[in-house]
Amino acid sequence: MTTQVTNPITQEDIQVGEIANGLPLTIPVYRIKGDGTGPKVYIQANMHGAEVQGNAVIYQLLEQLKHMHLTADITLVPYANPIGCNQKSGEFTLGRFDPITGTNWNRMYQDNSHLVKEFANKHLESDIETIKNEFRQTLISEVDKVLDGPAYAITTGKRIALNLQKLAHQADIVLDLHTGPISSKHLYCPEYAKPSASYFDIPNVLMIPNDFDGAMDEANFCPWWNLTEAFATLGKELPIAVEAFTVELGSQELIDLKEAKHDANSILSYLTYKEAFTDSQYQPKTMQRYVCELKDYIAFYAPMGGMVEYLAPLGSHIKSGEPIANILRMERYLSEQPLQSICLDQDAITILHFASASVNQGTELYKFFTNYELLT
């Protein structure tokens, strides 16, 4: 008879700032302890205010993790940006950009890759475990330097981001849960972690280079990637110790608990592959997965203003010359053709489109995978 596992879940509310009335700005952090033999895992959701599905996924993960035999220590952070999820305009949630500075909330993390060269030279003779432990602590200390520095030098968004980054730097696996405006599921995957992409139940994979652009996944994998390269130039082999992904779960302004269960199972499949459990039965679904380089992930901007009927289904493979949208311009009804058919001039996979039917000329109407191939 199998003994029922019940793992204790602890909660800590971490202060990440203060709001205008002087009260603390806090986020909930849930932790589940494993037996200490597996990886450390960090999962966060809702950095962008309208991207709420990740909170439902964290709920479904907690519901399952508390009954599993864990080797991994797992930290889960819903509501990662408490300001963003409360940024409302009428019935809509904004929360993609800091309303004070205009900066994308997910572009405020700190690049610590500058630490790599000196660290590699100092630890050329160190063993791999020492290198991992020391470099992890170096990254955390670098974040602490800013958080412990003059309070006047840090914006609201930067303070939130650094507190989250400090948590993430303690992990071997980092998953940042997002959604698009109106979107299909897709995965941002660093080039070295390509084999791992097959363990998520996500059909479209975007391969990203080792270029830091301010996002959570980059803040975590870029320093480790760069450290491996630095040691390689010194003649020492070091496996890349951290995998970090941005997981795009679908569309914003939507909670779907049934779909969240599927998304949680997808993450558990990947974590099974990473040996986070001792007895997991989670396996990736059999599906065709497609991969696209970041340079071939193109935006299609509205060639004219008007009211848009989106024709290209999300996740669909469209052919060159196939209509992707109709744009209605009623001001032209009596003078010329009011309905304009819009096409794409190359084969593509439809990943996401703008949330509104009302667009200005130059609005980012769609994003497409082009020059894609099967993930192998």
Residues 239, 303, single domain; the answer is: no
Angle at the Cα of 202 from the Cα atoms of 252 and 41, rounded to 5 degrees: 85
Same domain? For 336 and 248 the reply is no
Same domain, 261 and 324: no
Name the token pair of 121.
Answer: 């030279």
Give a yes or no: residue 71 inside a domain: yes
Distance between CA atoms of residues 186 and 362, nearest Å: 24
Same-domain status, 272 and 327: no
Cα maximum dimension of the chain = 79
Q: Does residue 3 lie in a domain region?
A: no
- Do 204 and 332 fall into the same domain? no
Does residue 269 share a domain with residue 327?
A: no
Q: Looking at the predicted structure, is the pLDDT value of residue 287 above 50?
A: yes
What is the structure's pLDDT at 5? 81
Residues 29 and 124 occupy one common structural domain: yes
- Alpha-carbon span 268 to 61, nearest angstrom: 8
Last residue of a domain, one of 259, 288, 317: 288
Residue 165 lies in a domain: yes
Q: What is the CATH number of the domain that holds 358?
A: 2.40.50.100
Same domain as 181, residue 305: no
The per-residue pLDDT for range 15-69, each reduced to its tens digit, is 999 999 999 999 999 999 999 999 999 999 999 999 999 999 999 999 999 999 9
Strand pairing class (24-32; 182-183): unpaired
Non-local (6+) Cβ contacts of 322 within 8 A are 312, 343, 344
Is 4 contained in some domain? no
Please give the full DSSP string across 204-267, using - where no structure is assigned: EEEEE-S---S-HHHHHHHHHHHHHHHHHHTT-------EEEEEEEEESS---HHHHHHHHHHH
Cα(288)–Cα(294) distance, rounded to whole angstroms?
19
Given a cut of 90, is residue 277 above it in pLDDT?
yes
Contact 156, 95 (CB under 8 A): no
Q: How do beta strands 9-18 and 317-318 pair? A: unpaired
Please give the single-letter amino acid code of residue 358.
S
Please give the radius of gyration of the chain, using alpha carbons only, rounded to the nearest integer: 22
- On whether residue 192 sits in a domain, the answer given is yes
- Which of 306, 288, 292 minimizes the C-alpha distance to 356? 306
Pairing status of strand 348-353 against strand 317-318: antiparallel
CATH of the domain at 143: 3.40.630.10
Instruction: Examine the domain organization and report whether 363 and 255 are in the same domain.
Output: no
pLDDT digits (tens, 9 = 90+) for 180-202: 999 999 999 999 999 999 999 99
Please name which of 318, 376, 315 lies closest in space to residue 342, comparing C-alpha atoms.
Answer: 318
How far apart CA 286 and CA 179 sit, in angstroms, is 23
Where do the H-state alpha helices sit in the chain?
53-65, 116-122, 128-147, 156-168, 216-233, 257-273
Is residue 334 located within the same domain as residue 269?
no
Residue 360 placed within a domain? yes
Kindly give, in sequence order, each residue whose CB lies less than 8 Å from that of residue 293, ignoring residues fewer than 6 positions away: 207, 371
What angle (nearest 5°) sits at the alpha carbon of residue 225, between those of residues 220 and 229? 155
Domain limit, last residue, from 231, 266, 288 = 288
Going by pLDDT thresholds of 50, 70 and 90, the confidence category of residue 294 is very high
pLDDT tens-digit readout, 111-157: 999 999 999 999 999 999 999 999 999 999 999 999 999 999 999 99
**Which positions ≥6 away from 73 have C-beta within 8 Å?**
31, 32, 33, 34, 36, 38, 40, 41
Residue 74: how many other CB atoms lie within 10 Å: 26
* Domain match, 142 and 179 both: yes
DSSP 20: T
pLDDT of residue 3: 60
pLDDT digits (tens, 9 = 90+) for 198-248: 999 999 999 999 889 999 999 999 999 999 999 999 999 999 999 999 999
| Residue where a domain stops, chosen among 255, 288, 321 | 288
Asked if pLDDT for residue 1 goes beyond 50, the answer is no
Reported confidence tier of residue 332, pLDDT bands at 50, 70, 90: confident
Residues 347 and 266 in one domain: no
Please check whether residue 375 lies inside any domain of the structure.
Answer: no
User: Is 223 within 8 Å of 116 (Cβ atoms)?
Assistant: yes
In-domain check, residue 2: no
Q: Can you give the residue range of the structural domain that contains 365?
A: 296-370
Looking at the 3D structure of the chain, how many domains does it have? 2
